[in-house]
Amino acid sequence: MNPVPARPLVAMRDVAVAFGPFQALRGVSLDVEAGQVLCFVGASGSGKTTLLRTVNQLVPVDRGAIYLDGELQGRRRVGDRLHALGEGEIARQRMNTGMVFQRFNLFAHMTALQNVTEGPVQVQRRRPAEARAEALDLLARVGLADKAGNYPAQLSGGQQQRVAIARALAMKPKLMLFDEPTSALDPERVGEVLAVMKRLARSGMTMMVVTHELGFAREVADRVVYMDAGAIVESGSPAEVLGAPREARTRAFLSAVIA
Amino acid sequence: MTTGAPVPLAAGFGDLSELRTARRAHGGRWLAAALILAVLALLVRAFARGQIEWDYVGRFLTVPVILDGIVATVVMAVCAMALGIVLGVAVAIMRLTPNPVLRAVAAGYTWLFRGTPVILQLLLWFNLALVFPVIGIPGLWSGRAVDLMTPFFAALLGLGINQGAYTSEVVRAGLLSVDQGQYEAAQTIGMGRMTALRRIILPQAMRVIIPPLGNEFIGMVKTTSLASVIQYPEVLHNAENIYYANSRVIELLIVAGIWYLAVVSVLTPLQMLLERRFARGVAGGRR
């Protein structure tokens, strides 16, 4: 057999999204190799969050295509036509990605442990005892073994966000999406969440991270993508994009953020 | 805040630490209570001297016909409310789907059954045989509408379907009160719409739904009395039948009233228990 060329885990081609008259994404193309960590930076309204949400189909694309592990997302090709997938198929595709939200979105009526076991038990139909053991292990890995029985309202923001990371990991996703995971946290809680994310990155997880934490991007990212007005302005290694940006817009953004 | 030695007060401020704070007098409360007691005493005296034979009230409070009536009232209230909740949840979910056909059907249902008096709906169901002498499923089974539309069945349909229209709005308000982020989080762990509603959204909506639903249920206990017009033997209907025979109108109405109050008094603490159950995870709720 001929060697198969390495296939990116995520391939986005000419992805465009409009919310009414507002063009949120204007034909974005991007590849993410397995094991890479990509950080997306840019001003609010630049399309970073929308891009992230197209990958797990929380936002449907108007134009273009997204492949995850070789599988076209949200649509199926039949002959020379594309058909929208049904709800069940979309739900199945979503299980390949885990998502962490800016505002945590933990299930408020469930304990930390129940939040983590909910997906494996209710969606993947795994045995409750097995899911519970794995969930306790995940909670221990994010440093919350002693908080398994707590409800979200009894946890700090940083603790809630770490439970949210455990909840996403419990589904054994191929890709993790982080949408400004530290923006809603008190400054002294940011470090504990970033530490968990760094460990996850080192373990080889593929990650797409929308963030304003340039220090985190510099240290952890394989690639930094700077976006503006629904398009990628430039992307490259942290040293290139954050250290020696080529584009004037990137320089203007960085000087405004760092100043 | 400084700690350590107390800071001396500036001149002109007296040291108050030795003085006690007197309790407020609340003279107005005492006056109001006295007035209300006086009015109550007058009322009691009026009723005691009026033409009511209280021993009749005591005697009829526990006769079998009245007891059967209150059982029929409670059974109907529970069954009609159950039907109303099932319909209400279904219709509320239909109204929030992206499917325009389901949305229109749900809105039409609410419009029709909220827009006509429930007594009219009861009479329509009871007299359905005038429209459709025979009802059933073609080829499978059919029966005469007169035999099928018993007072119980007509009252159940009339009250339950009407209740569903109101309950759907209560449930819809509850579903809308849950943060959109909860639904998105459910989607990201691969849940479909129905699983997310059942496992994530509805349990959190219950906290908002239960107080008005308790209100609706208490309303239902009393609305069952309308079913007396279609011969359903609930407590008011039976009380009327007795006073048609013995002319003790007020005494029997008081008997029925006591029973309604008794049932409603039992329901109120039940509602509080349910509210505590669904306050899990909310600040101030039971842990």
Write the pLDDT tens digit of every residue in A184-223: 999 999 999 999 999 999 999 999 999 999 999 999 999 9
If you measure CA to CA, which chain B residue comes closest to A109? B281
> Å from B283 to nearest chain A CA?
6
Predicted confidence at residue A259, as pLDDT, reads: 59
Predicted confidence at residue A27, as pLDDT, reads: 95
Is B35 contained in some domain? Answer: no
Predicted confidence at residue B286, as pLDDT, reads: 42
Predicted confidence at residue B148, as pLDDT, reads: 83
Is B52 contained in some domain? Answer: no
> Å from B282 to nearest chain A CA?
7
Greatest alpha-carbon span in chain A: 57
DSSP string, B60-79: HTT-HHHHHHHHHHHHHHHH
Domain count, chain B: 1
Summarize pLDDT for B41-78 with one digit per residue, the tens.
Answer: 999 998 888 888 888 899 999 999 999 999 999 999 99
Judge whether B241 is closer than 8 Å to chain A, CB to CB.
no
Predicted confidence at residue A237, as pLDDT, reads: 96
Cα within 13 Å of Cα(B11), Cβ side: 0
> Å from B201 to nearest chain A CA?
9
If you measure CA to CA, which chain B residue comes closest to A103? B181
Predicted confidence at residue A160, as pLDDT, reads: 97
Is B274 contained in some domain? Answer: yes
Give Cβ neighbours of residue A171 (< 8 Å, ≥ 6 apart): A95, A98, A119, A120, A123, A124, B189, B190
For residues B256 and B61, give the distance between their C-alpha atoms in angstroms, rounded to a whole number: 8
Q: Express as a percent the part of chain B with pLDDT over 70.
A: 95
The token pair at A63 is 């134009």
If you measure CA to CA, which chain A residue comes closest to B190? A91
Range in A208-212, B2-6, B29-33, B254-258 the model is least confident about: B2-6
Is B244 contained in some domain? Answer: yes
- Record: contact B187-A98, CB cut-off 8 A: no
pTM of the shown model: 0.84
For the residues B125-151, what does the mean pLDDT come to? Answer: 84
Judge whether B32 is closer than 8 Å to chain A, CB to CB.
no
- Record: contact A88-B192, CB cut-off 8 A: yes
Q: CATH number of the domain that B238 lies in?
A: 1.10.3720.10
Give Cβ neighbours of residue B18 (< 8 Å, ≥ 6 apart): none
| Residue A238 or B139, more confident | A238
Judge whether B189 is closer than 8 Å to chain A, CB to CB.
yes
Is B21 contained in some domain? Answer: no
| Residue B53 or A135, more confident | A135
Summarize pLDDT for A159-180 with one digit per residue, the tens.
Answer: 999 999 999 999 999 999 999 9
Provide the domain limits for residue B84.
Answer: 59-278
Judge whether B185 is closer than 8 Å to chain A, CB to CB.
yes
- Record: contact A91-B192, CB cut-off 8 A: yes
Q: How far is C-alpha A92 from the chain's CA centre?
A: 17
Show residues of chain B in contact with A179, CB under 8 Å. Answer: none
Are A106 and A184 in contact by the 8 Å Cβ rule? The answer is no
Is B179 contained in some domain? Answer: yes
Greatest alpha-carbon span in chain B: 100
